A = this chain, B = another copy of it.
Amino acid sequence: IDWLLSKLEEQLERSRKKRDEVLKEINMLEQFISDASDKLDRLSVARGACPLCGRPLDDEHRVELIKRLSREKKEAEKRLEARRDTLRRIEQEISEL
């Protein structure tokens, strides 16, 4: 029975470690998405110049930046959704050990 208990402990340890990694990634994704939203707001109202560095920013370039950032944000949101599913699954596993 000792052997079985130590096996369960190892599994629990692995699951907790995995959970911490997924939590870290979730935090980073949320941070990225929130930052991207803020930049998109700023870019959408900018006219002629970058509101941060003041350099010229014509509409064509500005729209290019908005498209790229929106795409990256969508990809991050998909990834975030997947990681949250993974987190739920791991939490479930931990609760069943």
Contacts and interface: CB of A to CB of B under 8 A. Distances in A.
Tell me the number of copies of this protein.
2
A55 interface: yes
Interface of A: 38-39, 42-43, 50-55, 57, 61-62, 65
Contacts of A57: 53
| Top 4 A-B residue pairs of the complex, sorted by shortest distance between their CB atoms | A50-B53, A52-B52, A55-B55, A53-B57
Contacts of A53: 43, 50, 52-53, 55, 57, 61-62, 65
A62 to B, nearest CB: 8
Given A39-B52, A43-B53, A52-B52, 7 more contacts: A42-B52, A50-B52, A52-B65, A53-B53, A53-B55, A53-B57, A53-B62
